[in-house]
Homo-oligomer: A and B are copies of this chain.
Amino acid sequence: MELKEAIRKRRSIRLFDKTKKVTDAQLRELFELTSLSPSAYNLQPWKFIVVRDEKRKGVLRACGNNQAQVEDASAVIIVLAKLNPSEDVDEIISDRDKKGYFPSSEIKQNYIKIMKEIDTNEEIKAWAIKNAYLASATLMLAATDMGLATCPIEGFNPDCVIKNFRIPSNYFPTLLITLGYQLPDAKIPERLARKTFEKTVDFEQFRKKQA
């Protein structure tokens, strides 16, 4: 599917066909595309838990304001932000080195220093979440391309998810995404309006309009 078509076609779908399942092969392709999202220093501070078991979806529904779509969707993805991305630094630096990304060993040493210290940055949680959201946006567009429907759910209780899905303290559940096939006879209302270009885009400084 054309990218523009996917962007225009993507909607938050809450009515899923319970009989149609997302396959393992589809998940592989979906997450391979998702993995290509950008992240600072290529640290990829994200992880995903795919919940397909009926009983577990029920638990997740209870953590997520009892939304029926959580049980109706073929799968629900728990998007986790990784709070100790420095764990992966050696591998990432070695990859960067091999591919000629470091013009000097000084720059390389500086990179290593920043990346090794990143877990202790007071902004680490906010930063990991932001990067996980870039990946989530990619995921929802990729799903659209694959004929799948999604809905991002921000309204859920993270402690409930942490407890029931055994999330360790170095990860934080930041978003749920329902994934599946749209109910064939679902009546999807017209897309909600977006703010205009004039309202959302300024030039050169705040509130300055295009000449």
Contact = CB atoms under 8 A, between A and B. Distances in A.
A35 interface: yes
A53 B204 contact: yes
Q: Quick one: which of A5, A100, A166 has the most chain B CB within 10 A?
A: A166
Interface string A19-40: 0000010011001110111101
Contacts of A145: 2-4
Interface stretch (A66-74, A178-186, A188-196): A188-196
A200 B47 contact: yes
Given A3-B6, A49-B205, A202-B48, A192 B35 contact: no
Nearest to A101: B189
A116 interface: no
Q: Quick one: which of A101, A142, A203 has the most chain B CB within 10 A?
A: A203
B8 A36 contact: yes
A177 to B, nearest CB: 10
A206 B10 CA distance: 29
A149 interface: no
B46 A200 contact: yes
A7 B146 CA distance: 13
Contacts of A142: 3-4, 7
Contacts of A92: 192-193
A interface, how many residues as a size bin?
35 or more
Contacts of A203: 49-52
A18 interface: no
Contacts of A91: 193
Given A38-B12, A130-B130, A206-B166, A195 B44 contact: yes
Q: Quick one: which of A52, A137, A168, A190 has the most chain B CB within 10 A?
A: A137
A159 to B, nearest CB: 14
B165 A205 contact: yes
A99 B152 contact: no
Contact of A2 (B1, B7, B99, B210): B1
Given A38-B152, A44-B200, A154-B40, A126 B127 contact: no
